[in-house]
Amino acid sequence: MLSSLTHRFVDVNGVRLHIAEQGEGPLVLLLHGWPESWYSWRHQFGALAAAGYRVVAPDQRGYARSEQPADVTSYTLLHLVGDMIALIEELGEEQAILVGHDWGAPVAWTAAMLRPDKVRAVAGLSVPPILPGGMVPPSITRTQYGEGFYQVYFQEPGVVDAELAKDIPDSFRRILVGASGDNPDSTEPRPLVIPDGLGLLDTMPESPALPDWLTEEDIQVYAEDYALHGEQAFTGAFNWYRNIERNNELLAPFRGRGIDVPALYLVGDRDMVTSLSGPGGLASLTALVPRLHDPVVLPGCGHWTQQERPAEVNSALLDFLAGIDGSTAR
């Protein structure tokens, strides 16, 4: 099915992005998370295109085949949302449905909050809407979980970047298996805190076997695209984390603003993100997103939602898309 995809580069919002696309109809943008790429949606292209949608998945700025701006301050949510709004226009469309996983979810949620004229519906996988700044800032998570909390650990430029770039395939193997719901060494979801003196990969020992949803070929696709940036293979991706505090400052004027468009949230019950939910959990989402469909919780699924459970995710997305007012998909 991937052979039917087309690949090209587009210049949007001051950066050059690689995109993969398939199908015709209403535009659906699929936004990957960390540390992924367009390839994380490999199981969604065919299903959505067959249902009558134009499906486009970019490598977001700093990732894989796309351009990696050198300035760390070029990775705020305002930049990232700006990329997607500009991409919609570059593709010749007035509006799009945004579907985001992991870091792609805050981009999608924030775009829906700021530009409901451009985003007619939104779906988030793994990460729920945490408005207005996308994620809780390190000034707070540091007090909750300590200096070893992974988002705090990622703040120091160059350290974790070099750790993961040393052996890119091994890094992907450890991270993808480690956060999978199929990882036999995992227990109940809990915040990822890196012990003092250790690195990120030390918390994710090498597994002798891959889960059924992941192949060595999958790992190589990710690794080869990231290797295009050499020693900076992961730096652009980590720079997203280095703007969490800045995002909350820049988006402060929108505090209290919710999401007005139809929305969907999907998460695995073994996803580490579920351990970070605030008071009220899923029940509190309707206050922020009044047009939220019933959240979908996938039993046994870990962090890599659409890769681990493609059939269930595709079914939920197609059901959601079919119910959006004004949908013209065939």
Catalytic residues: 102, 303
Helix %, strand %, coil % of the chain (to 5): 40, 15, 40
Residues with Cβ within 8 Å of residue 160, at least 6 apart in sequence: 153, 154, 199, 200, 234, 238
Supply 129's token pair: 């809407």
* Separation of alpha carbons 178 and 184, rounded Å: 9
Answer whether 235's CB lies under 8 Å from 161's CB.
Answer: yes
Q: Are 302 and 308 in contact (CB under 8 A)?
A: yes
Whether omega before 35 lies within 30 degrees of 0, making that bond cis, reads: yes
Cβ within 8 Å of residue 71, ≥6 positions away: none
Q: Measure the CA–CA gap between 129 and 135, rounded to whole angstroms.
A: 8
